[in-house]
Chains A and B, each alone.
Chain A
Amino acid sequence: MFTSVDDVSARLAETGYLASPAVATTVFLADRLGKPLLVEGPAGVGKTELAKAVAEVAGARLVRLQCYEGVDESRALYEWNHAKQLLRISAGRDETWDEARTDIFSEEFLLTRPLLTAIRGDEAKVLLIDETDKADVEVEGLLLEVLSDFQVTVPELGTITATRRPFVVLTSNASRELSEALRRRCLFLHIGFPEEELERRIVRLKVPGLDEALARSVVRVVGALRAMDLRKVPSVAETIDWARTLLALGAGTLDETVVRSTLGVLLKHQDDVLKATAKLDLEAL
């Protein structure tokens, strides 16, 4: 898919995803080694976006499995379309049992869910397993089979093996510890907060109307907030929100009043707002 790490960065950038060297390297390796990519990091740094960007670059279809507590095999892999099966049975009243039985467990009545969808067919696909940590431990067992051999067994149909391996991205906020076995099957990537210069470029890209000097100040203030010991430090998504807010307010430069009145866009806890206000000397006015 990619020829070099630089190629990865360049082509991701075309889709509007600016990747750090670490991100580009890992994506390149995941593609080369044909291994799933486990992405961890704080909320709002672009883990899900990465999968979308890769899909766009590769011209692949994005298949997404959103995990949640209680997601199970029938939501992740496949289930039988019972209603249609019943219709089929009642439609053919005078056939023998054997005919009816072999019929109703065929492809026609199979509802494929994300994992099976990603494995079947010849088109290029990116499989995004989002918030893996939200799913129960049992689902991880399911993922192990799918991710190591890229095959799924449907008892009535037999084993379905991928003819073309999808590019797999798993994301996690680490709210639960993923099993060692799952981690071993993946390349690991931690996306942290970007370097100052990269973040400035991201902000400029996402908020085109913002002028260079203001973007610089925005990123610096956010950087200072991240260095404080807050309950929830602002993420890239919040930086962009803030930049948009400032643009909408028509603020040309940052000053105490503007920062104080818009701090709520960046910080989500009252304790944090108080702490930041004190540390940034905003109460001086």
Chain B
Amino acid sequence: MTTPAGVAERLTSLVGALRAHGIRIGTGETVDAARAVEALGLADRELLREGLAATLLHGTGGRQVFDPVFDLYFPRGVGDPEQKAAGRDELRDRLAAALAADDQALLGRLAVEAVDGFGGYGCAPESDGWSSYQTLERLRPQTLLARVRDDMRGRGGSPGFADRLLEDEIRRRIESFRALVAAEARRRVAERRGRREIARRAVAPTADQVDFLFAGQARLAELRRTVQPLARKLATRLAARRRRASRGTIDLRRTLRGSLSTGGVPMKPVLRRRRPARPELVLLCDVSGSVSGFSDFTMLLVQALHDQFSKVRVFAFVNRIDEVTGLLRHGTADPEGLGARIEAEATLTGWHGSSDYGMALGEFAERYGDAVGPRTTVFVLGDARTNMSDPNLPAVRQIAEQARRVYWLNPEQRSRWGTGDSAAPAYAELVEMHECRTARQLSALVGRLLPV
């Protein structure tokens, strides 16, 4: 291998950082990556990026982590930019021009200059930090929208139909410039504090590792888009398990019976036939504010998996419970508005708006008790925070007795169960309770727990 020693070292630490983010990379791939570096050379950074991604990653999932980590280990430049930024207005002028031309390379250079000029904070030169927030706050690229639009209209000549798309396009360009600034600020900080530390802290986790309870709107939307692929993945796993399970053992009695015609020589082994299992699923979802992201996601996932079950019924509650199976069915096209639709069309709250598990579970046992039978697996989704009201354990006990299995998926960290108004330990004594904080955990649990 003729890879320069420095590059080999950098490559292995890049791999280390990626592994720390849960991307599985073997030694073989690292060697391939080194060969790729050798074949491509170091001259073109973007080619190198693609080459390393092709050799190190095995799917699309890791790309979001890979790109920022790559930016840290193979930075665009080192140290300060050669050209010092002039004034804020001058930089804004050039930024507007670059946005109008959609010149990616130029935008990249401007991001470097912008962070250098406006991103530094701290007084002593040694304590300097770099902030993308501060840079963007000073530069305010979003306010350039109107200017860029007028500029482009002015040059574009005849206002055609596509003209009405202009604003959205410019908005997307500005958004990508903001991302460039963030990457540059991370790089500057990393130079000072050590790459490993920044790579660990500053790179956002992949969508399936985001904590349901702390995910913002954008992250939740992103998460919802992963529902379909995840469901497909789980469906394959379930189908494979079902296929294996249907291969039964040999039915000795019927084999011998069949062998009578061949003089007692068992020519054809007869396999024991399984009763076709028809798993039914009932979902009880807490959709109150704090855990609604988790419930939404799980409901969509189960809905996407519906052809794996003979029957799926979904109930939502805050402090009263109502069936929402129908809402979910024709709602597959619009996962975004699911929460709002459930809130609008189902009766979920009584006299007050905070969640009450005891009340809701009691009402379920009373009104929909017949939904649960010996073939039913029940999933309860929620954090088991009862707002100090009665947890109504008998109701849960009754459901558990009727159902085949009851699992409780709790989006809260296990160490917080039982703190404050959480009735989790009490419920956990009656039914199996699992911690389920991220989509990754959820898919592992669903794959393991679903009846087949």
Contact = CB atoms under 8 A, between A and B. Distances in A.
Contacts of B53: 22, 188
A25 B169 contact: no
Interface stretch (B58-66, B140-148, B210-218): B58-66
Given A183-B59, A184-B29, A224 B165 contact: yes
B161 to A, nearest CB: 4
B169 A220 contact: yes
Contacts of B232: 174-177
A82 interface: no
Please tell me the size bucket of the interface on A: 35 or more
Given A217-B162, A231-B333, A29 B58 contact: no
B428 interface: no
A187 B55 contact: yes
Interface in A171-229: 174-177, 180, 183-184, 186-190, 196, 213, 216-217, 220-221, 223-224, 227, 229
Contacts of A184: 26, 28-29, 58
A221 B172 contact: no
B63 A256 contact: no
Interface stretch (A32-40, A48-56, A161-169): A32-40
B338 interface: no
B168 interface: yes
B9 interface: no
B236 A177 contact: yes
A21 B162 contact: no
B168 A224 contact: yes
A28 interface: yes
A32 B39 contact: yes
B32 A35 contact: yes
Nearest to A185: B28
Given A33-B36, A177-B232, A188-B57, A229 B50 contact: no
A231 B334 CA distance: 9
A188 B168 contact: no
A254 B164 CA distance: 12
B161 A217 contact: yes
A99 interface: no
B237 to A, nearest CB: 8
B54 interface: yes
B160 interface: yes
Contact of B333 (A33, A271, A280): A271
Contacts of A255: 160-161
Given A26-B50, A40-B60, A174-B229, A5 B40 contact: yes
Contact of B39 (A33, A188, A190): A33
A256 B28 CA distance: 55
User: Of B29, B160, B233, which is in contact with the most chain A CB atoms at under 10 Å from its CB?
Assistant: B160
Contacts of B129: none
Contacts of B55: 29, 33, 187
A144 interface: no
B75 to A, nearest CB: 19
A255 B161 CA distance: 5
A225 to B, nearest CB: 10
B302 to A, nearest CB: 19
B336 interface: yes
Nearest to A174: B229
Contacts of A280: 164
Nearest to A34: B35
Contacts of A28: 39-40
B50 A25 contact: yes
Contacts of B60: 40, 174, 190
A134 to B, nearest CB: 12
A33 B39 CA distance: 9
Given A184-B26, A189-B54, A253 B236 contact: no
B58 A183 contact: yes
B40 A25 contact: yes
Nearest to B237: A177
A280 B168 CA distance: 11
Contacts of A77: none
Contacts of A216: 162
Given A188-B54, A221-B165, 5 more contacts: A25-B51, A174-B229, A176-B236, A217-B160, A259-B161
Q: Which 9 A-B pairs have the closest CB atoms?
A: A183-B58, A217-B162, A254-B161, A25-B50, A22-B50, A220-B162, A224-B165, A26-B54, A32-B39
15 contacts: A5-B44, A21-B50, A25-B47, A26-B50, A29-B51, A174-B229, A180-B24, A184-B26, A184-B28, A187-B32, A188-B58, A188-B59, A221-B161, A224-B169, A280-B164
